[in-house]
Structures are given as structure tokens and as C-alpha cells.
Structure 1
Amino acid sequence: MSDIQEKIEQARQEAHAISEEKGATSPDAAAAWDAVEELQAEAAHQRQQKSETEPFFGDYCSENPDAAECLIYDD
């Protein structure tokens, strides 16, 4: 599991524990769940950045139509 996913899981467990101990509507529980949401947002941001920097296979084939992996064979 990636580092950010581990942090999300730890934060989620802590938020559950705080919610049980102090109540789901307590300020401490709200802060704990906010931390979980922030970590999830960061994970989504990292995934988006990664997908923007990696070229899509279609783009590769458009630029390299003779590459072996882009050739299409008719039966």
C-alpha cells in the first residue's frame, strides 16, 4: 500500500476512535474527519498529476504509428 493510502487509513481509524469516544458531532471528531478528507484530496491530486505527466498510449501511437505495439493486423 502506498504511503498516502497508509496515512489515510491511519487517520480514518483515529477519526473512528475519536468519534466513538467523544461523539460523532464533537469538534474533535469533526477535526479528525477533516484530516481524513484532506489526505484523500491530496491522494486525488497526486493521481491527477501522475496521469497528466504520463502520455496516453493513443498519443504514443499517433506520434509513432510504425512502433510494433501500435501496429494493427487485419485477419
Structure 2
Amino acid sequence: MIIENLDALKTWLTKTLEPICDADPSALAKYVVALVKKDKSEKELRALCIDQLDVFLQKETQTFVDKLLKL
């Protein structure tokens, strides 16, 4: 995933994650950025994000990953 504006992405992630998880949204946003920076196809990236974020987001994981990959 090509990230054009890292600060804007982190801001969006923090705001989006805050109401749907118990983890620190800022720390989780940094983790998500690290995940999406990996050099993988969109299909591989989707599977990786769903697998890694499920523990934090549970039933919200699929919806969150869909929104994230549409950015």
C-alpha cells in the first residue's frame, strides 16, 4: 500500500480505532501503519491485517480493514 500522507493516515486511524477497540488507539494506529507498509498484494495485505487485527477489533475487524484498504 502506498502511503501519500502518513500524518493524515495516522490521524484517520486514531479517530477510527478509538470507538471500536480497547487498546490505545495511537499505539494501534502505529501498528496498522507498520502492517500496511509491507510489500504485499492487496489480497495478501487484507488477509494479514484481518489476521493481526482480529485480536484487537474482533467483530469490527472486517469492516475496519475494508475501510482502510479503500483509502
State the TM-score, normalized to the length of structure 2.
0.28
State the TM-score, normalized to the length of structure 1.
0.27
> Which protein, 1 or 2, shows the higher relative CO under an 8 Å CA cutoff with sep ≥ 6?
2
